[in-house]
């Protein structure tokens, strides 16, 4: 990045009093507008005071760069109670009234369980190199306890999926835990609050290595453990819906990290020799940028934001322990609250060395960025929480585009910053981007998704710049292949490259314009030149109008069908 003179810019930032998955958009839900002063600095090396956005970079990715798209079991499979599958915490949670938008569930979702071939032909259409999916633990071990019962039909489903992918030259990247814990383990032991999950998860993982490891070479132990811990056990917005503020998330994370390390070691000692695969973890992280880069307090607050998010999990797996700043802040607040020990659990020295280095590659899920400023949060017992432990406030720039989910602002430069942060903090590990993409709201059944084209174009370009900065990114996964069940948001937020008509029981898929655009990026392995890239965009948008027509016609047909009287009126017979 080149340097440029430090310039002062006046910015109106909106304070985010709400968090991710929060309620109404902040502009509406009363957050105050702050007028702040920003300074872009001229420092040469990566540091908190340097943020040079630069212009669009035309160029290609390294040879062999892997392009993919993803989804996860509960979000896409459907068939929630079919062929011997056990219940997961998401099956139970989504069936409770008031937990999910419109009380939707993942019961049938995209019915991907029945559409292996159809979905693989969609992947072939884009020429994907890899597909990321997750294995539903209760589908193959219904109670979660391996010694109880292994469900052959579940194994058969994943066998078929993997075989068909490989027959079509698509590499499977497989996540073991994308949030669907077997319900029995929640009821009996309290789920991730309980250390016994470590052994049960290890048994499940080893079963997967045994059954599928001859063909699967990229394993992800956990997807986004931050969400599991914070949204599952702190705020309760996600399954299992517990609100154990100030302690639940830390405890869940502690057990998840131990479970990850155990599985990595099991693979390393028992399977790696013959299977020759890799085991990583997929962490999600929003970028946090200091509001005022000339203010040391803001710089420290931004670093805390990232350390409490990505660093919470990445620092243990790369360096053996939690980030120092988490230990300091949670420890200090715990003392102020009159507690004898920190709410953040501690690893023993044996555990530290066991956990350190348990990551063959790092999966990164990234969607958005926040501006961060320092704020002293209260420390009373009643204000115990992961969020207040950080002493910071999150802000957004109202000019950032936000086409879909309330929390998702498009800030491409944050992606490059995050990737460079990973490089410098964790010794330049091998990275697969495991999730990146943007949603749209339910009311827009718009297949001509120009904003998604723009998002992908800019975020992928920032990733290319990061690779030029020396970040070791090996692959990229667009999130997601299909519209799908979006957790507590139900079907109201659509991330797919393909539109799914959930109202039709066959769940037909229709390509959005972004399919064509992403396909071009893949076939050129990057961005050749401005004229071509502009042409791709134009053609993609032109082509999508025919898909729009198809969808509209199908809709009309099903509406007519629905409106057709089931019994002819009596007077017709007369
Ligand atoms: C991260 C989760 O892993 C994924 O399941 C979800 O669809 C995306 N965030 C978008 O919210």
Helix (H) or strand (E) holding 186: helix 183-189
Confidence check: pLDDT of 95 > 80 = yes
Per the CB < 8 A criterion, the answer to whether 290 and 398 are in contact is: no
- How far away, in angstroms, is 86 Cα from ligand 1 center? 23
Catalytic residues: 435
Q: Is a pLDDT exceeding 60 seen at residue 509?
A: yes
**In 3-state terms, what secondary structure has residue 278?**
strand
Helix then strand count (H, E) for the chain reads: 19, 19
Backbone angles phi, psi at 16, to 5 degrees: -90, 95
Regarding the beta carbon of 134 and ligand 1, being less than 6 Å apart is answered: no
> What integer pLDDT is reported at residue 3 of this predicted model?
29
First to last CA, the chain: 83
Q: What is the mean pLDDT of residues 293-321?
A: 97
pLDDT at 302 over 90: yes
Residue of the CA atom closest to atom 10 of ligand 1:
486
pLDDT classification of 29: cutoffs 50, 70, 90: very low
314-323, 387-396, 398-407, 551-560: segment of lowest average pLDDT: 551-560
Q: Which residue's alpha carbon is nearest to atom 11 within ligand 1?
A: 486
Continuous H helices in 234-279 = 248-266, 272-275
Give the pLDDT band (50/70/90) at residue 7.
very low
Ligand 1 test: best mutation among 69, 222, 224, most atoms within 8 Å of CB? Answer: 224
Phi, psi of 143 (to 5 degrees): -95, -5
What domains are defined for the chain? 64-501 (3.20.20.80)
Mean pLDDT, to the nearest integer, of 83-87? 98
15 lines ligand 1 (CB under 6 A): no
Please give the distance of CA 356 from its chain centroid, rounded to a whole number: 24
Q: How far is CA 143 from CA 146, 208, 524, in A?
A: 8, 16, 46
The residue whose CA is least distant from atom 2 of ligand 1 is: 224
**Does the C-beta of 286 come closer than 6 Å to ligand 1?**
no
CA 486 to ligand 1 centroid distance, Å = 7
CA 524 – ligand 1 centroid, Å: 28
For the CA of 284, the closest atom of ligand 1 is 1
- The 10s digit of each residue's pLDDT in 232-268 is 999 999 999 999 999 999 999 999 999 999 999 999 9
- Residues 104-130 have a mean pLDDT of 98
Measured distance CA(159)–CA(153) in Å, rounded: 10
CA of 480 to the centre of ligand 1 (A): 9
- Label residue 16 by pLDDT band (50, 70, 90): low
- CA dist list (Å): 282 to 188, 205, 252, 476, 496: 27, 15, 16, 13, 20
How high is the pLDDT of residue 558? Answer: 75
Scan for tokens 């399977």, then name that residue.
Answer: 271
Is the CB–ligand 1 distance for residue 365 below 6 Å? yes
Q: What is the pLDDT of residues 353-392, one digit of tens each?
A: 999 999 999 999 999 999 999 998 877 666 789 999 999 9
Could you give the CA distance from residue 318 to residue 321 in angstroms, rounded to a whole number? Answer: 8
State in Å: Cα 450 to ligand 1 middle: 21
Identify the residue whose C-alpha is closest to ligand 1 atom 6: 486
- Asked whether 292 and 392 are in contact (CB, 8 A), the reply is no
Q: What is the pLDDT of residues 419-447, one digit of tens each?
A: 999 999 999 999 999 999 999 875 656 79
* pLDDT score at 478: 98
Q: For 159-204, what is each residue's pLDDT tens digit?
A: 999 999 999 999 999 999 999 999 999 999 999 999 999 999 999 9
Does the beta carbon of 66 lie inside 6 Å of ligand 1? no
The DSSP secondary-structure symbol of 510 reads: E
Q: State the average pLDDT for the chain.
A: 89
CB 284 near ligand 1, within 6 Å: yes
Please give the distance, rounded to the nearest whole angstrom, from the Cα atom of residue 478 to the centre of ligand 1.
11
Q: 231 in ligand 1 pocket by Cβ < 6 Å?
A: no
């Amino acid at each position: 990045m080149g340097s440029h003179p430090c310039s002062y810019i006046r910015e109106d930032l909106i304070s985010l009093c709400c968090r991710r998955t929060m309620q109404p958009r902040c502009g509406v839900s009363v957050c105050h507008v702050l007028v702040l002063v920003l300074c872009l600095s001229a420092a040469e090396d990566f540091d908190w005071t340097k943020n040079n956005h630069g212009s669009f970079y035309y160029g290609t990715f390294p040879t062999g760069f892997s392009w993919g798209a993803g989804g996860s079991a509960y979000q896409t499979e459907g068939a929630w109670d079919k062929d011997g599958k056990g219940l997961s915490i998401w099956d139970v949670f989504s069936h409770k009234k008031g937990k999910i938008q419109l009380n939707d569930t993942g019961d049938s979702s995209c019915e991907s369980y029945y559409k292996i071939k159809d979905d693989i032909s969609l992947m072939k259409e884009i020429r994907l190199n890899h597909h990321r999916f997750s294995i539903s633990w209760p589908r193959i071990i219904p109670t979660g306890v391996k010694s109880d019962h292994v469900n052959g039909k579940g194994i058969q489903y994943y066998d078929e999926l993997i075989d068909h992918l490989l027959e079509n030259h698509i590499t499977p990247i497989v996540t073991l835990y994308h949030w669907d814990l077997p319900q029995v383990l929640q009821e009996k032991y309290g789920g991730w609050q309980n250390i016994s999950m470590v052994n049960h998860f290890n048994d499940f993982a080893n079963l997967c290595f045994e059954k599928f490891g001859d063909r699967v070479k990229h394993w992800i132990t956990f997807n986004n453990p931050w969400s599991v811990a914070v949204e599952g056990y702190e705020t309760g917005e996600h399954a299992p819906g517990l609100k154990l503020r100030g302690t639940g998330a830390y405890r869940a994370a502690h057990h998840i990290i131990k479970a990850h390390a155990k599985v990595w070691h099991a693979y390393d000692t028992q399977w790696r020799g013959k299977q020759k695969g890799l085991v990583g973890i997929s962490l999600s992280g929003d970028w946090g940028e200091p509001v005022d880069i000339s203010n040391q307090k803001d710089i420290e607050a931004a670093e805390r934001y990232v350390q409490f998010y990505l660093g919470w999990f990445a620092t243990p797996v790369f360096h053996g322990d939690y980030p120092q700043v988490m230990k300091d802040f949670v420890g200090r607040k715990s003392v102020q609250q009159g507690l004898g020990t920190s709410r953040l659990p501690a690893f023993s020295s044996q555990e530290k060395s066991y956990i350190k280095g348990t990551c063959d590659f790092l999966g990164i899920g990234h969607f958005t960025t926040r501006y961060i400023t320092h704020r002293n949060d209260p420390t009373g017992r009643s204000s115990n929480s992961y969020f207040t432990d950080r002493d910071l406030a999150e802000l957004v720039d109202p000019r950032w585009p936000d086409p879909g989910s309330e929390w998702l602002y498009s800030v491409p430069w944050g992606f490059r910053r995050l990737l460079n942060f990973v490089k410098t903090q964790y010794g330049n590990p091998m990275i697969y981007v495991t999730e990146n993409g943007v949603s749209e709201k339910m009311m827009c059944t718009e297949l001509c998704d120009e904003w998604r084209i723009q998002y992908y174009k800019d975020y992928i370009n920032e990733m290319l710049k990061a690779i030029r900065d020396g970040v070791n990114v090996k692959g990229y996964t667009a999130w997601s292949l299909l519209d799908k069940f979006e957790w507590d948001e139900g079907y109201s937020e659509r991330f797919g490259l393909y539109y799914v008509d959930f109202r039709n029981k066959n769940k037909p898929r229709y390509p959005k314009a972004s399919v064509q655009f992403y396909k071009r990026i893949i076939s050129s392995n990057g961005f050749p030149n401005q004229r071509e890239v502009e042409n791709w965009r134009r053609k993609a948008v032109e082509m999508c109008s025919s898909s729009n027509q198809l969808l509209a016609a199908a809709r009309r047909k099903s509406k007519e069908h629905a409106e057709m009287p089931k019994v002819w009126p009596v007077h017709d017979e007369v």
